[in-house]
Amino acid sequence: MTDPGHLRALAHPTRLRILSLLTGSALTAADVARELGLTHANASYHLRLLRDAGELVVAGEESIRGGRAVRYRHPWREEDRPGGASTGDVDPGAAELVVRAAAQEVQRRYRDRRRDLPGIVTDAELWVEEETWVRARELLLEAAALVHDGARAPRAEGTTLVNLSLFAFALDPR
């Protein structure tokens, strides 16, 4: 079973924002703090939890005013993370915490959406043929890879801040 502590580390809206931020570029705790409006201590705390959970890798270090600043990045593909791809079952309680944090974060992002650009909001609980489900899942994975691989540094010229939150799973019909 996947370590529930790993999932619990993800189960916080701020940590989800940090992972998104570190997908596009390697940043220090000070960079993360500035971008997200956190204290340096708070950013460092969240970064430490994410690093210990295997969600971040050290992308470099630099000297700043006599100290060392570590740059972190988030390798979004499981196989690129320390320890490689997860092969075990997921702890349901810990996974539920991640879903709750993500749902809370989606609500914040929706409030902050740009109204001048088109978006998509859809929700469905449907009975479909298995081939339809397999194809839909493939397309969603492709969309996730497209935006994650296209992520750039915060506020980089020519970029637009976007949200892509996907929850797609087969249901137990009970």
CA angle centred on 1, ends 72 and 138, rounded to 5°: 70
Give the pLDDT mean for 7-32: 94
**Is the pLDDT reported for residue 89 higher than 70?**
no
Above pLDDT 70, what percent of the chain?
93
**Is the pLDDT reported for residue 2 higher than 80?**
no
pLDDT at residue 52, as a whole number = 92
**Is the pLDDT reported for residue 87 higher than 60?**
no
> What Cα–Cα distance (Å) separates residue 92 from each residue in 5, 11, 64, 96, 98?
12, 13, 42, 6, 10
**Cβ–Cβ < 8 Å for 49, 15:** yes
